[in-house]
Amino acid sequence: MSSADQTRRLALAAAGLALVSVPALAADDQGKGPGQEKATPAVEDLMREHGVLRRALLVYSEIAARLAPGGPKVDPRPLNQTARLFRAFGEDYHERKLEEVHICPVVRRARGPAAAYPDVLTVQHNRGREITDYVIAVTRDGTLAASDAEVLARALNRFVLMYENHAAREDTIVFPAWKLALSDRQIEALGDQFEDIEEQQFGHDGFEDAVRQIGDIERAYGFSDIGQFTAPPPRR
Ligand SMILES: [Fe+2]
Ligand SMILES: [Fe+2]
């Protein structure tokens, strides 16, 4: 065993991990550092975009609960930013530039069980845009009229229910059907094309920027510590 391997084994043991032999990584196998580019496969790209959108949905859920009568006062500005992020990253890019152009037509043509999905997914994209318009309108100018709170809370909750179902079906039914309908080479080429579209749309790494934005929104509402969401033990 080389001295490098021995050092690695000692480090693992010190960390309380199982003592297993970890071969040294070849230069090509090593990960990239911060700021370095690494290609993202097309389906992973779509699913990590859902991750950003799901974080926006979590903001909507939490804020909808706070908007209940007698709840704490809600600063509407981060909510407005969330809706604008959903518009730019979710609706104008992920849905309009990727799914509606590159995913739905392929899944429709493949005629498998997933072919029934694109129609309803498109209806839901359009309904989502109506709701986003509404959220942006009622939180415009950093204010929220008390008379809008109840309707806004209901709209947010219905949007969350719709989009959680929507993204979960895409992740587990539609994207796998899309991947199956295309060759590995086509999928790889589309991964590159998606990165070009992202560059054209945002002029920079849209995903990293969206992650930064949703992180700022979570911080503004006090949601950034994930530990606060750890469920309590069940009561018997
Ligand atoms: Fe979609
Ligand atoms: Fe999607």
Q: How far is the CA of 151 from the centre of ligand 2 (A)?
A: 26
**Nearest Cα to Cα of residue 206 among 190, 191, 195, 222:** 195
Question: pLDDT (tens digit, 9 = 90+) per residue, 165-220?
Answer: 999 999 999 999 999 999 999 999 999 999 999 999 998 889 999 999 999 999 99
What's residue 18's pLDDT? 37
Q: How far is the CA of 50 from the centre of ligand 2 (A)?
A: 6
- The overall average pLDDT reported for the chain is 87
> How far is CA 143 from each of CA 80, 86, 204, 212, rounded to the nearest angstrom?
10, 19, 31, 24
In the three-class reduction of DSSP (H, G, I as helix; E, B as strand; rest coil), residue 209 is classed as helix
Asked if residues 94 and 53 have their Cβ atoms less than 8 Å apart, the reply is yes
What's residue 11's pLDDT? 41
Q: Is the dihedral of CA 188, 89, 52, 219 positive or negative?
A: positive
Q: How far is the CA of 176 from the centre of ligand 1 (A)?
A: 14
Question: pLDDT (tens digit, 9 = 90+) per residue, 56-87?
Answer: 999 999 999 999 888 788 999 999 999 999 99
How far apart (Å, rounded) are the C-alpha atoms in residues 230 and 198? 34
Tell me the pLDDT band of 4, cut-offs 50, 70 and 90: very low
Q: How far is the CA of 46 from the centre of ligand 2 (A)?
A: 7
Question: pLDDT (tens digit, 9 = 90+) per residue, 144-163?
Answer: 998 999 999 999 999 999 99
How far apart (Å, rounded) are the C-alpha atoms in residues 101 and 95? 8
Q: How far is the CA of 49 from the centre of ligand 1 (A)?
A: 11
Q: How far is the CA of 117 from the centre of ligand 1 (A)?
A: 10
Q: How far is CA 235 from the centre of its chain?
A: 32
Q: How far is the CA of 11 from the centre of ligand 2 (A)?
A: 42
Q: How far is the CA of 170 from the centre of ligand 1 (A)?
A: 7
How far apart (Å, rounded) are the C-alpha atoms in residues 58 and 62? 6
Q: How far is the CA of 125 from the centre of ligand 1 (A)?
A: 6
Q: How far is the CA of 126 from the centre of ligand 2 (A)?
A: 13
> What percent of the chain clears pLDDT 70, i.e. is strictly above it?
84
